[in-house]
Structure 1
């Protein structure tokens, strides 16, 4: 039976005020910034091993053809995961393409040592005050989601389904999903429930572990319509229902949502130079987290973590638009620090943002056009992820070392 998520009071600590200014994107979305003991094991068919040499730019990217997680995630183990962001293309690809692309992503993730994957995909609204939420051309259909979930399940992954409100219509009004104010809350929840229903049915049919009922909807948190919506969802879907809070609301407000688990999209700015050590970045994260609660956070998952591989990124980790000088060390050091925070605070896991579903993860990103947040194909960051996912941390239910 679902129980309301226990909420931790904000402990009295030295207050660092958060001033919210112009919205920037976190991955594909803006927020407001101020200036069991076993880990996943891999089985490799070396008879067809085509891994590049250590000198190759792709050395850290896994390339074998038959990889599979042989010890899947179980309760108590850390969720070592990646967010796959999936938008349909204007000319719809074949079902065969979708299946083969999912297989390519699954092989890459297993090669990193991941045991979990979250499928994020967009749905749409027309304006900040709209009551209507819809699937549009870029929204994968429930049937195609079923195909992709089946591929990842077959590969042994823990799976999460995560619809995310697209913001292109909102950005035109200099706004973002965390500020929406529907003209009618009742109509908004009715519309949202209708959109979610077929995706909940697919998540149940494919035995997805978690369904994220909403992401970063700051202004909608605590609204009475969530109880009815979640209760209806539970009639179809029997897994874990979660909500992913934005980092600012997580540390400064009461996250009042009737769900069984809380994730955090964690883009805490740390105002330090590009040469900062892992320990300095860990301390910066802990300063933010301590504003909510000190000590272990075993019921919290880092639902999104990422940063641009560029100069100055520590000051605004989720700045999707910036194209400053490429600096792979900044990204790799941040990933190492975040993983250390997850272990030290006994958190339930981390999902790195992100890989676009249509991309070839074995190819280095084209930095003339790609987001600096892309990590696939960056050897230093891939090495940091593999080190993180193969660490001795057995999960939030085990004693700290």
Structure 2
């Protein structure tokens, strides 16, 4: 999957991007169209299986839905593969254009446990209400569900607010990462409507990243890597 992303100054959340007048909305739309179509053409040339038209742009989608339908048509004119959009976990159920895409894409940072070291049982229970909403969306649009991002930090309270990347949260907790990750696989992996997902965050320099002293998202060179490998090797 080719997945272009916007990174906002000072790390502000992309979902909050909002223009204050029509001229600025048009400026954003024209710029974003040019940005996305360039990557779509590249994805087509490289025969990428999936192209993602945007990532966690909640307010942009809410305020300018017509633009997104038009953008999808433009992308389809240059890219011949499958399409998705990476909706944030609290955005996907009101994203209006799933019917025009091939996958319902979700960045799956759903809160599943309030515990310092969440147990498997707690995480499985925490997934129940979220899974209900995901299933309802899947039935509405009759599209497979794709986790455009999924992953947990190897840190205390990893299931409480899984989207948090603050570096002052530095208490390494490998068990927390293991349990949250395993619970996600047990909840979704065997569903026939689940298309799989993309791990956040995986680096190309494998031997130089992660490790059992690392408290960030990557599962590389941590026990969680074996959990992921086991499930993907069965697919």
Which range, TM-score by smaller chain?
Answer: 0.7 to 0.9
**Match of 2:68, SS?**
helix
Change (3 A) 1:203 1:295: closer
Partner of 2:29: 189
Residue 15 of structure 2: SS of its match in structure 1? helix
- Secondary structure of 2:210's aligned partner: coil
2-side partners of 1:315 and 1:261: how far apart? Answer: 27
Per the TM alignment, residue 353 of structure 1 is displaced from its structure 2 partner at its CA by 0.4
> Map of 1:83-98 to 2, 5 A cutoff?
none
> How far off is 1:340 after superposition?
1.3
Q: 2:119 touches 2:176 (CA, 8 Å); kept in 1?
A: no
Deviations 1:289-333 (A, max 9, x none): 213545977611111111110122121112111433211111112
Instruction: Give yes or no for contact 1:331–1:381 (8 Å, CA) kept in 2.
Output: yes
Deviations 1:179-227 (Å, cap 9, x if unpaired)?
A: 1112333332211111222222211111111110001111122521112
In proportion to residue count, which structure has more helix?
A: 2
Unaligned runs of 5+ in 1: 1-159, 395-401
Q: 1:286 to 1:260 in 2, by over 3 A?
A: same
User: Any residues of structure 2 matched to 1:17-96 within 5 Å, and which?
Assistant: none
Residues 270 and 315 of structure 1 are in contact (CA less than 8 Å); yes or no, is this contact kept in structure 2? yes
Q: Which residue of 2 aligns with 1:390?
A: 233
Deviation for aligned residue 1:256: 0.5
Contact 1:274–1:311 (CA under 8 A) maintained in structure 2? yes
Contact 2:118 2:180 (C-alpha < 8 Å) held by counterparts: no
Aligned to 1:341: 187
**1:308 aligned partner:** 153
**3-state DSSP of counterpart to 2:133:** coil
Structure 1 counterpart of 2:83: 241
Matched with 1:262 is 104
Greater relative contact order, per chain length (Cα 8 Å cut-off, separation 6+): 1
After superposition, give the CA deviation of every residue in 1:258-277 in whole Å (9 maximum; x if it has no partner).
43322100111123434443
Say which SS state the counterpart of residue 83 (structure 2) adopts: strand
CA contact (8 A) 1:267 1:305 kept: yes
The aligned residue for residue 164 of structure 1 is 5
Q: Which of 210, 213, 218 in structure 2 is aligned with 1:374?
A: 218
Residue 302 of structure 1 contacts residue 350 of structure 1 at CA under 8 Å; is this kept in 2?
A: yes
Q: Name the counterpart of 2:113.
A: 271
Mark the runs of 5 or more structure 2 residues left unpaired by the alignment. Answer: none
* Structure 2 CA distance for partners of 1:232 and 1:340, relative to 1, 3 Å: same
For the aligned residue pairs, the C-alpha RMSD in angstroms reads 2.4
Match of 2:207 in 1: 362
In 2, the alpha carbon distance for the partners of 1:319 and 1:233 equals 32
1:270 alignment partner, SS class: coil
User: Greater CA radius of gyration, 1 or 2?
Assistant: 1
